[in-house]
C-alpha cells in the first residue's frame, strides 16, 4: 500500500452510540469491563444495505480510513453502506490486542452490520513461529479464515505450514517495487513462482492497481489464476517512478473489465475498495468508489 503522509480528519455530529464508539477508539472503555458490558448490551445498529453488487461482494479495507481511529472508520464504513470489510492491523494489532479485545471488535463490527472477511497483517521476515501463530489465532478470534499481508518469499514455507495447521488461507498482497525486489511479491511472475511452491492454502490478495502499475494485465492474471485468489484490493493506479492513485474511473487501471471478469467467473471472495488518493476526504472518496462499482456492474 502506498504510504500517505497527509492527515485527514472527519468530524461529524455523533449521537449517544457514536460517543461510545469514539470513547472505545480512544481506549477509555477498553480499561473498564463494566463499560464494555454496557456497550455490548446496547441493541445492534440497523444493518446497512448489502454491498453485494452484481453478484460480487464489495467490501472496504479499513486502511482506507487509516488516519481515523477504528471506531470512526467502522462508523464511516457502515454509513456508506458496506456489509463487509477487511480489517487492517494498523487499526488493531494482533501483538498488542488481547483475545477479549479482538472478540469485542468482532462483535462491534457485527452489531454495525459489517462482516469481517479477512485480516491484513504484516509478518516481518524475522518473525518467530510463535509470532506467526499469533496472527492466525488473532484472525480466528475475529471470525475470519483469511489473512492477508506483505510477506517475503523466504517466509513462505513456515507460512504454508501454519496455514495447514490452522486451516486458514493466507493471501499474499503484491506491492509495486521499482526496481523489482526478488525477495518480495510484486509481479504476476512472482505470484506464479509462489503458487508453484506452496499448497492451495497460500493464495493472492490481489491488488489490481498495484499489479497494473507494475506492468502486468490484471484481467489476464485473474482469468489464469482465479483458483488461487482469495481476496481482491480495488484501486485505480498509474505506475512510473512514483505510483499515483486516482479516484475510481479517473486513472488507467481497467477496473470495469476487472469487475466484469470477477463477475463472469463468479468470484466468491470479497473485492475490497482500498482508498489511497491524497488530499481527498476518505468518506467521500470511498463512497464515490462504491458508486463507480455499482455503475460498472449495473
Q: Which residue has the higher pLDDT, 255 or 40?
A: 255
Characterize 61-77 residue by residue with b for buried, 16 or more Cβ atoms within 10 angstroms of its Cβ, and e for exposed: bbbbbbebbbbbbbbbb
- Cβ atoms of 278 and 3 within 8 Å: the answer is no
- Please report whether residue 51 resides in a domain: yes
Lookup result for grid cell 511452491: 197
Residue 59 has pLDDT above 50, yes or no: yes
Angle (nearest 5°) at CA 168 between 165 and 171 = 125
pTM for this model (two decimals): 0.84
- Please report whether residue 79 resides in a domain: yes
- Please report whether residue 4 resides in a domain: no
Q: What are phi and psi of 149, to 5 degrees?
A: 170, 165
- pLDDT in the model for residue 47: 57
Mean pLDDT of 16-43: 40
Average pLDDT of the chain, as a whole number = 88
Q: pLDDT tens across 212-270, in order?
A: 999 999 999 999 999 999 999 999 999 987 899 999 999 999 999 999 999 999 999 99
- Please report whether residue 16 resides in a domain: no
- pLDDT in the model for residue 178: 87
Cα dist from 250 to 208, 236, 245, 272, 288, whole Å: 15, 7, 9, 18, 12
Q: CATH code at 204? A: 3.20.20.150
Residue 70 has pLDDT above 50, yes or no: yes
- pLDDT in the model for residue 61: 98
Cα dist from 161 to 169, 190, 283, whole Å: 11, 20, 39
Q: Is 70 helix (H, G, I), strand (E, B) or coil?
A: helix
- Please report whether residue 292 resides in a domain: yes
- pLDDT in the model for residue 172: 98
Residues whose CB is less than 8 angstroms from the CB of residue 270 and which lie 6 or more positions away in sequence, other chains included: 57, 58, 59, 84, 86, 117, 118, 231, 232
Q: Can you give the residue range of the structural domain that contains 159?
A: 45-296
Question: Rounded CA gap, 134 and 128, in Å?
Answer: 10
Q: Is the CA virtual torsion 246, 252, 253, 254 positive or negative?
A: positive
- Please report whether residue 173 resides in a domain: yes
Question: Which of 39-43, 66-70, 82-86, 272-276 shows the lowest per-residue confidence on average (mean pLDDT)?
Answer: 39-43
- Please report whether residue 91 resides in a domain: yes
Q: pLDDT tens across 84-134, in order?
A: 999 999 999 999 999 999 999 999 999 999 999 999 998 999 999 999 999
Mean pLDDT of 23-36: 40
- Please report whether residue 78 resides in a domain: yes
Q: Which three cell numbers stand for residue 192?
A: 506464479
Q: How many residues does the chain have?
A: 298
Mean pLDDT of 149-176: 97
Question: Rounded CA gap, 225 and 203, in Å?
Answer: 9
Structural domain count of the chain:
1
Q: Which three cell numbers stand for residue 189?
A: 511472475
Amino acid at each position: 500500500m502506498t504510504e500517505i503522509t497527509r492527515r485527514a480528519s472527519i468530524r461529524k455530529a455523533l449521537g449517544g452510540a457514536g460517543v461510545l464508539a469514539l470513547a472505545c477508539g480512544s481506549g477509555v472503555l477498553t480499561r473498564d469491563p463494566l463499560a464494555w458490558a454496557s456497550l455490548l448490551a446496547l441493541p445492534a445498529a440497523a444493518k446497512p444495505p448489502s454491498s453485494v453488487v452484481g453478484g460480487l461482494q464489495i467490501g472496504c479495507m479499513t486502511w482506507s480510513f487509516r488516519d481515523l481511529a477504528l471506531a470512526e472508520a467502522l462508523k464511516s464504513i457502515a454509513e456508506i453502506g458496506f456489509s463487509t470489510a477487511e480489517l487492517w492491523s494498523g487499526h488493531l494489532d494482533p501483538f498488542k490486542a488481547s483475545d477479549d479485545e479482538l472478540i469485542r471488535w468482532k462483535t462491534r463490527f457485527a452489531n454495525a452490520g459489517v462482516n469481517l472477511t479477512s485480516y491484513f497483517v504484516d509478518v516481518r521476515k524475522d518473525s518467530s513461529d510463535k509470532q506467526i501463530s499469533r496472527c492466525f489465532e488473532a484472525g480466528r478470534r475475529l471470525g475470519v479464515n483469511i489473512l492477508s499481508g506483505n510477506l517475503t518469499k523466504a517466509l513462505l514455507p513456515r507460512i504454508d505450514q501454519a496455514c495447514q495447521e490452522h486451516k486458514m488461507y493466507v493471501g499474499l498482497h503484491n506491492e509495486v517495487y521499482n526496481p523489482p525486489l526478488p525477495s518480495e511479491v510484486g509481479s504476476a511472475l512472482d505470484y506464479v513462482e509462489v503458487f508453484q511452491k506452496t499448497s492451495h492454502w497460500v493464495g493472492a490478495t490481489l491488488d489490481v492497481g498495484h499489479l497494473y502499475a507494475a506492468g502486468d494485465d490484471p484481467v489476464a492474471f485473474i482469468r489464469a489464476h482465479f483458483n488461487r485468489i482469495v481476496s481482491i484490493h480495488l484501486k485505480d493506479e498509474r505506475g512510473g517512478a512514483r505510483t499515483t492513485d486516482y479516484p475510481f474511473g479517473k486513472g488507467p487501471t481497467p477496473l470495469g473489465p476487472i469487475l466484469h471478469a470477477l463477475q463472469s467467473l463468479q468470484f466468491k471472495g470479497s473485492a475490497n475498495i482500498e482508498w489511497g488518493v491524497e488530499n481527498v476526504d476518505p468518506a467521500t472518496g470511498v463512497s464515490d468508489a462504491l458508486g463507480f462499482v455499482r455503475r460498472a456492474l449495473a
